[in-house]
Structure 1
Amino acid sequence: MVRRSLKLHVQALIAAFQFLTRFPVPVTIPFNGPVLTRSVIYFPLAGALIGICLAAAAWLLEFIVPAWPSAVLMLALWTALSGGLHMDGWMDTADGVLSHRSRERMLEIMKDSRVGAMGVLAAVLLLLFKASLLAELLVNDKAEIIFSLLIVCPVWSRAWMAMAIAGWPNARAGEGIGALFNGVKGVQAAASMLLASAITFIFLIIEGIALHEAFVLLFIALAVTLSCGGLLAVWLNRKLGGLTGDTYGAMNEAIEAALLFMAVLWLNI
């Protein structure tokens, strides 16, 4: 029994990396209910690996490349490491929800592989916003926490996806990517949030942040994630009658941008 549980968790960890990143993990695992249900626990670890790559890129680029080109290159890497999965969800969600059609028609638009005008506009504005925030952080003399910030942003955005999967119904009633995670409950979502908290705290301490300040920053990250993610989830649920795989990706992108924005405000205040 213990061996089977351990095996499922190892498979779930691998599934989280294979599903959310483009890091090569040459292991074949069953993408079934027991594995995928547990995989959401490890979503923050997939985000942490993406964040570590971003922090390493920021450290290398700061020696030879100015802030704005560095920001664009980092953003390109950020998107590529997830295979554009979440950006695709952001665009599809914008196309559907901002069409102001009926619920059924919005879901049909989101399912269409083609990108419309609203999706393109939403993507351009989001990328510009995130690039400007990264550039601001790179030139800010007080940004001692930038490396930790680059790590924890993708951690919390992916932890929220676990919360959203557990907290709201699937809008497509058994169809789409979201249906693969129908077995996710509050216990897995809570475990994902706890893991995100532990990762955040560890990296803040490693970067030399004082203990009391680390707790404050951890609370801020949690508050921004819950408020931004919660408001979006409630709004999307009201529009669509539930959430979809696209909306999970859209919320991931929004929370990353919100955390970067809050960091810039924090440093300037």
Structure 2
Amino acid sequence: MVRRSLKEEWFAAIAAIQFLTRLPIPVVVPFEPRVLARSVAYFPLAGLAIGVLTAGLAWLLSFVLPLWPASILTLAVWLGLSGGLHLDGWMDTADGVLSHRSRERMLDIMKDSRVGAMGAAAAILLLMLKASLLVELMGYGITALLPALIAASCYGRTAMALAIVGWPPARKTEGLGPLFNGVNKRWTAVNYVLSVVFCYIILNVNGVNEINSLSISIVASLFMSLIVWGFGGWLARKLGGLTGDTYGAINEAVEAAILLLAVIGVRLWL
């Protein structure tokens, strides 16, 4: 029984990384609804992997390139590590919701593989914001950059978990939303705690004392929760629920917001 349970947890953790990243992990995992639902608890592991790799690259590039080219290359790798999955959701959500059509028409627009004017504009603005924030963080060195990138990546994935349990799927029988119907609040709580712990450890390793590390981690988690509540609630009211695209959009919004919070915090702190 214990062995079976450990195997299920192992599959769930690997599924989270394989689903949310393009990292080559040579493990065959059954992508069944039960495994996907359980994988939500381990979404922050994917964020941790992306954050560490992206921050390490950014730190190295900052030594050999001016800040803006280093920032853009870092952003390109950050995007590549997730396969553009969440940015695609951000664009589709912008195209649909900002069309101001009926609920059914908005959902149809979001299913269209073509990118519209609002999706393109939303993507450009988001990438410009992220790039400029990375430039600012790079200027303060790895002590600011590493915690910010890891926190953004981890809390972005936790935000998706909160959205999954917080609102019903807008489409009842198609898309990614129904695949996560079996997610329960206990797994989401594990997800939440993992993000706080990862953020705390990275801050502490970078020289921030225990009390401040814990305080910053909790403030960031509350800030993330507020964004999910506001942005997710607005999307759910517009669409009658959430979709896989909106989960990606929420992740992108939280990532940008955490980077912004980090820049504000560093400027006030230093």
TM-score, normalised by the number of residues in structure 2: 0.97
State whether residues 144 and 266 of structure 2, in contact with CA within 8 Å, keep that contact through their aligned partners in structure 1: no
1:118 aligns with 2:118: yes
Tell me how far 1:34 sits from its aligned partner: 1.9
Task: Tell me the residue number matched to 2:6.
Answer: 6
Q: Which structure 1 residue ranges, 4+ long, deviate > 4 Å from structure 2?
A: none
Task: Tell me the residue number matched to 1:95.
Answer: 95
Tell me how far 1:174 sits from its aligned partner: 2.4
1:128 aligns with 2:128: yes
Task: Tell me the residue number matched to 1:46.
Answer: 46
CA distance in 2, matches of 1:160, 1:98: 22
State whether residues 48 and 155 of structure 1, in contact with CA within 8 Å, keep that contact through their aligned partners in structure 2: yes
The aligned runs of 1:1-269 (5 Å cut-off) are 1-140=1-140, 144-269=143-268
RMSD between aligned alpha carbons? 1.1
Ranges in structure 1 where 5+ consecutive residues have no aligned partner? none
CA distance in 1, matches of 2:148, 2:66: 19
State whether residues 89 and 244 of structure 2, in contact with CA within 8 Å, keep that contact through their aligned partners in structure 1: yes
State whether residues 89 and 249 of structure 1, in contact with CA within 8 Å, keep that contact through their aligned partners in structure 2: yes
Tell me how far 1:52 sits from its aligned partner: 0.4
The range that moved more, 171-180 or 116-125, is 171-180
CA distance in 2, matches of 1:66, 1:219: 33
CA distance in 2, matches of 1:140, 1:8: 42
CA distance in 2, matches of 1:37, 1:253: 21
CA distance in 1, matches of 2:221, 2:27: 33
1:26-50 per-position Cα deviation (integer Å, ceiling 9, x unaligned): 2221111221111001100000000
1:45-66 per-position Cα deviation (integer Å, ceiling 9, x unaligned): 0000000001111221121111
CA distance in 2, matches of 1:64, 1:243: 43
CA distance in 2, matches of 1:15, 1:248: 17
1:150-188 per-position Cα deviation (integer Å, ceiling 9, x unaligned): 112100100111111111100001210121111001111
Tell me how far 1:140 sits from its aligned partner: 3.5
Tell me how far 1:268 sits from its aligned partner: 2.2
Q: Which amino acid aligns with 1:154?
A: S
CA distance in 1, matches of 2:216, 2:126: 24
CA distance in 2, matches of 1:172, 1:108: 11
State whether residues 167 and 186 of structure 1, in contact with CA within 8 Å, keep that contact through their aligned partners in structure 2: no
Identity of aligned residues (%): 54
Task: Give the 3-state SS of the residue equivalent to 1:256 in structure 2.
Answer: helix
Task: Give the 3-state SS of the residue equivalent to 1:63 in structure 2.
Answer: helix
TM-score, normalised by the number of residues in structure 1: 0.97
State whether residues 171 and 244 of structure 1, in contact with CA within 8 Å, keep that contact through their aligned partners in structure 2: yes
CA distance in 1, matches of 2:106, 2:34: 31
Q: Count residues with an aligned counterpart.
A: 268
1:169-218 per-position Cα deviation (integer Å, ceiling 9, x unaligned): 00001210121111001111111001111111111111111111101211
CA distance in 2, matches of 1:140, 1:29: 41
